[in-house]
Amino acid sequence: MSKDKQDQVAPVVVASDLKVSDLRAALAAGWGDYKAFPAFGLFFAAIYVIAGMFIYFALFVRGEIAWLVPAAAGFPLLAPFVAVGLYEVSRRRESAIPMSWRAILGALRGRGDEQILSMGVILFVGFGFWIMVAHGIFAIFLAESGIGSESIELFRTGAGLMMLLVGGIAGALMALAFYAITVVSLPMLVDREVDFITAIIASLATVRSNKFVLLIWAAVIAIALFVAMLPLFLGLLVVLPVLGHATWHLYRRSVGKAHT
C-alpha cells in the first residue's frame, strides 16, 4: 500500500483512496476463490440457507406471516459472522497455505483470544435488538390497522405501508451501523492479532475515509442478498460465498498485508 493514500489508525494504516474499480476487482477475486474451493463456500452458505428456511416455515406454520419481513430484513445482520470461515479460505489461498476443514472451521475461534467470538456476540445482540425494535414498530401500526399478523392484507393497508416505511428506515440505519463496524474488522481479526475494539476502529476509519465507495459496496451487498433470498434463500448458496470472499479482498486493498 506504499503508493496509496493512507490514514493512520494506530496500530493500523488504512487506505483512503478506494475506487469503484476496487469493488469490481474484489468481486472478480471473490468469484475466483469460490470456484477454486466451492465446498467451503457451499458449506457455510448452506448453514445460512437452512436457518433461513427454518425461520420462514416456522413463521408460516404459526400464521405469523407479517413477521417474515422483519425476520428477513434482520437476517443479513448475521452474514458477516457466517463469512468468517470464508475469510480464512481466501487468506489461505492468497498465502498458498494448505486447506483443511479443521483449520477453516477453527477460524471462528480466531487466534485463540476469543476476539471473533466477541464480535459474534455483538452481532447476535444486534439481531435481537432489531427484532425488539421491529416488534415495537409492528405493534404500533398493527394496533391501528386492526388486522392480525397472520394476514398478508396488512401490507396493503395505509398502516401496513407506513409500517414498512418506518421499519425499512430503522432497519437500514441499523444494518448500515453494523456494516460499518464489521466490513473490515472481522477479516482483520482473522488476519491479525488485534483486539476487536482496534478492529472496529479501523473499520469505522476505513468507511469514513472511503464513504462513497463503501456505501456503494453496502448497497451491492444489500441488493444481492435480498435478491438471493427470494427463491427460498437458495441464491445465497452462490451469492453469500462470493460476497464473503470479495469482502476479504476489499479488506486487503483497504488495510494491506498483516505484519504478524
pLDDT at 250: 95
C-alpha cell at 106: 477453527
pLDDT at 35: 96
> What does the alpha-carbon distance between residue 247 and residue 99 come to, in Å, rounded to a whole number?
19
Global pTM reads 0.82
Contacts 24+ apart (CB under 8 A), 145-151: 149/63, 149/64, 149/65, 149/66, 149/67, 150/63, 150/64, 150/65, 150/66, 151/65, 151/66
Scored b (16 or more CB within 10 A) or e, 174-199 reads bbeebbbbbbbbbbbbbbbebebebb
Residue pLDDT, tens place only, 116-175: 888 878 888 887 888 788 778 777 777 655 555 555 666 667 777 787 788 778 888 888
C-alpha cell at 22: 476496487
What is the residue whose three cell numbers read 469493488? 23
pLDDT at 258: 46
What is the mean pLDDT of the segment spanning 223-244?
A: 88
Element holding 179 (H helix, E strand): helix 158-182
Closest CA to 201 of 11, 15, 16: 11
- What totals of helices (H) and strands (E) does the chain contain, helices first? 12, 2
Residue pLDDT, tens place only, 168-226: 788 888 888 889 999 999 999 988 888 889 999 999 999 999 999 999 999 999 899 88
* Mean per-residue pLDDT over the chain, rounded: 82
pLDDT at 29: 97
